[in-house]
Structure 1
Amino acid sequence: MADKKDQFYTRPPKLGKWEGFRQFLWNSETGQFMGRTGSSWGKILLFYFIFYAVLIGFFTALVAVFYQTLDPRTPKWQLDSSLIGSNPGLGFRPMPPESNVDSTLIWYKSSDKGNVQYWQRELNAFLTSYKKENNPHYNNVEQCNTFQRPSEGKVCDVNMNQQWSPCLQEMSYGFENDKSGPCIFLKLNKIYGWVPEYYNTSTLPQSDEAMPAYLKKVIVDAEKQQKHHMVWVTCEGENPADKENIGSIRFIPARGFPSQYFPFKNEYGYLSPLVAVYFEEPRRGVLINIECKAWAKNVHHDRVDRRGSVHFELMVD
């Protein structure tokens, strides 16, 4: 028998690229597939199967526990504890085209039917959900008397009947009227659980700068009739020239949002209350800057951040 000292390592034969790849895929001498034997592959696959099964199970358990702490219809953080806070803002419709996303200009020529069709389509789309045939939860909507809350779990309808004239689809929302201006719809942004603090004669601001004198008179008269539980709305020209050019305004169906729509509780079928602002005689060919404000004791106005208000421009050719 040869001495172990006489045994030397034999260098494996040099293989070409293709032969080396073939041997990597399957080595018949060692029984290895891609560098591992069958038992080695079995062990590593079993390890990763158990590892990922435990990982998926752990993740699923955490998600299940997490969802147990959430109500799908009630936000965990509300009012001042939430990101949006407790000071609602106003929104307006129709909005300018998305191609000009930063614009707030409503500009059209009433005699050009093609020119006004965009604004009409935008309003038609916005008001679609206010038609009962388009509301999948309309069975949860009921007709409410003004200032009267709906039944438990129900919501109040926004009934766009003839009292909304001329701010109706069949009347082109005023956009095709050669003698008057358009109807612009205002909505109060929804905040879960927010309840307005309504003004009355004892809580009205003393300064006319804090609240317009004509609105104070409206609130005083409304309180005498027990109709003051409203989030009131005003719209004015921002500058002296705008105030001259804006002309008379009519609020339809009322000068604000009545109390039966508050608080918002994310009920099925809920419809945000609307106010249509009908510009009866804006000066034509002039750009008019308009600011609309919502009024309640717990609505605070900030022109920079547009808190409690909304700005847009109107130009009718």
Structure 2
Amino acid sequence: MGTEAEPQSKVNNNPIYPKKPIEENTWGDFIWNSRTGQVFGRTGTSWAKIFIFYVVFYAGLAAFAGLCYYLFSLTLRLDQPKWILGDSIIGTNPGVGFRPMPDQEENSGSSLIWYRRENEADAAVWYNQLANYTDAIENPEEVDSLQTCSYDNGLRATEIKSCFVDTKQFGTCNKNNAFGYRSGEPCFLIKLNRIFGWEPEPFGLNKRGQYDPDLLLEDLDRQKNLPDSLRKYITDGVKSNIDPSKFLDTIWISCTGENVNDKETLGPVNYWPRPGIPGYFFPYYKQLGYQSPFIFVQFLKPLTSVLINIECRAWAKNIIYDKIDRLGSVHFELMID
């Protein structure tokens, strides 16, 4: 006997329900879904929780950064570096600088001073640098911390006061003379780099700052390659000065050709006002309006159309010299066509 077929709706005991059509979401629904009340895929409650979380998170992050900055600032002083002299990266050996110098952005690492004597624009590139530098010295800030120091009045730099640089003492190295560049006898400004708290140890002075003739000879003999002209200037100056200790309180400067040929082609050298920087300009303590001391070196008869290598060196008992690392000296080249 055959069996009757089950009704279609009873197959597998699962009633069949009509399927609802699937609604596709659009970009407009993502921005604002009116059915679910979501904005950019989140409800208002979800957005509020996220907002509160990030407010608390970034507030905590800012507070932590501020605490770190505050604790770090407690270890610093505004009036001086945290690490000075032997404890600092700079150390206790001042570098030597010169002006004018090539534009380091256009000629990185270059130290060649070249110009055509008959070309005014060429010469102006160099002497204008010196004019701008000395103009800033001649028109300093109006501050009470600057004073006129000299060996005679006994005034020198202190932690609060520093010394004027008198630009009237530089002879023919002045802007009215174009610093000698038009005449082919160029001047170069030689200075020391600033080191906070550094003081020179002059030749011939004992620990109490008193002149000792035997110590002077020993100090001069220890200096390798000390130019004979500078040695004679120092020994003659001691004899002619009433107070040799003041005269010797100096960082001596010498500029010569690096090689034998350079010395012959460089010619005579003049130092304005003398071949040294007085010790009363030191130490540097970041005094308000501080002026870095310098001298001018003038090369009187340099040979033209020849590249001349020049080395300028600073001399004191606590200035270390190393030609390879350029410690205690500076190198540049001069060529005049």
Letter in 2 for 1:82: S
In 2, Cα distance between the equivalents of 1:61 and 1:131? 45
**Does structure 2 conserve the Cα–Cα contact (< 8 Å) formed by 1:198 and 1:231?**
yes
Are 2:241 and 1:241 aligned? no
Q: What CA distance in whole angstroms lies between the structure 2 residues aligned with 1:269 and 1:152?
A: 13
Match for residue 149 of structure 1 among 156, 168, 172: 156
Classify the secondary structure of the residue corresponding to 2:274.
coil
Deviations 1:233-289 (A, max 9, x none): 001111111111111111111211111111111111111101100111212222211
Letter paired with 1:232: W
Judge conservation of contact 2:85–2:196 (CA < 8 Å) in 1: yes
Q: Partner residue of 1:304?
A: 324
1:123 equivalent to 2:138? Answer no
Deviates more, 1:241-250 or 1:202-211: 202-211
- 8 Å CA contact 1:187–1:274 kept in 2: the answer is yes
Which digits, 9 at most, give the CA deviation of each residue in 1:122-149, with x for residues without a partner? 22233342122xx335442111113631
CA distance 1:309–1:208, shift in 2 (3 Å): closer
Distance 1:266 1:157 in 2: 14
Count, aligned residues? 305
Aligned equivalent of 1:267: 287
CA distance, structure 2, for counterparts of residue 12 and residue 261 of structure 1? 93
Distance 1:23 1:212, change over 3 A: same
Shift of 1:118: 0.6
Please say which of residues 265-274 and 24-33 is displaced more in the overlay: 24-33
Q: C-alpha separation between the residues in 2 aligned to 1:9 and 1:40?
A: 35
Question: Is it true that 1:27 corresponds to 2:33 in the alignment?
Answer: yes
Pick the aligned partner of 1:165 from 162, 171, 174.
171
Q: Which runs of 5+ in 1 are unaligned?
A: none
In the alignment, structure 1 residue 13 sits paired with structure 2 residue 25: no
Aligned position for 2:68: 62
Q: For residue 275 of structure 2, what is the amino acid of its counterpart?
A: R
Q: Which whole-Å deviations, capped at 9, do the CAs of 1:20-79 have from their partners, x for residues lacking one?
A: 211111122221111211111111101111111111122112212212221123111111
Shift of 1:195: 1.1
Structure 2 CA distance for partners of 1:9 and 1:29, relative to 1, 3 Å: farther
Deviation at 1:304, TM superposition (A): 1.1
Q: 1:228 to 1:28 in 2, by over 3 A?
A: same
CA 1:219–1:8: 2 relative to 1, 3 Å: farther
For residues 80 and 235 of structure 2, the distance between their equivalents in structure 1, rounded to whole angstroms, comes to 36
Identity percentage over the alignment? 39
TM-score, with structure 2 as normaliser: 0.84
| Distance in structure 2 (CA, Å) of the matches to 1:9 and 1:82 | 85
Alignment map for 1:98-137 (pairs within 5 Å): 98=104, 99-132=106-139, 135-136=140-141
Q: CA deviation at 1:214?
A: 3.1
> Given the superposition, is the C-alpha separation of residues 8 and 25 from structure 1 closer, same or farther in structure 2, using an over 3 Å criterion?
farther
Instruction: Indicate which of 211, 217, 223 corresponds to 2:226.
Output: 211
Amino acid at match of 2:22: P
Partner of 1:97: 103
| Per-residue deviation, residues 177-228 of structure 1 (Å, max 9, x unmatched) | 1xx5110001101111111111114142426734233323322333442200
Match of 2:42 among 36, 59, 81: 36
Q: Secondary structure at the match of 1:292?
A: strand
Q: Which residue of 2 aligns with 1:186?
A: 190
Do the aligned partners of residues 93 and 8 (structure 1) sit closer, same or farther apart at CA in structure 2, a change above 3 Å counting?
farther
Task: Indicate how the Cα distance of structure 1 residues 12 and 80 shifts in structure 2: closer, same or farther if over 3 A, else same.
Answer: farther
Q: Which residue is equivalent to 2:79?
A: 73
Q: Structure 2: where are the runs of 5+ without partners?
A: 1-13, 205-212
Aligned AA (2:146): V
Which stretch shifts more, 100-109 or 152-161?
A: 100-109
**Higher mean Cα deviation, 223-232 or 41-50?**
223-232
Could you tell me how far apart the structure 2 residues matched to 1:303 and 1:36 are? 71
Q: Is the 8 A contact 1:105 1:314 kept in 2?
A: yes
RMSD between superposed Cα atoms in Å = 2.2
8 Å contact from structure 1 (residues 148, 259) kept in 2: no
Superposition TM-score, scaled by structure 1 size = 0.89
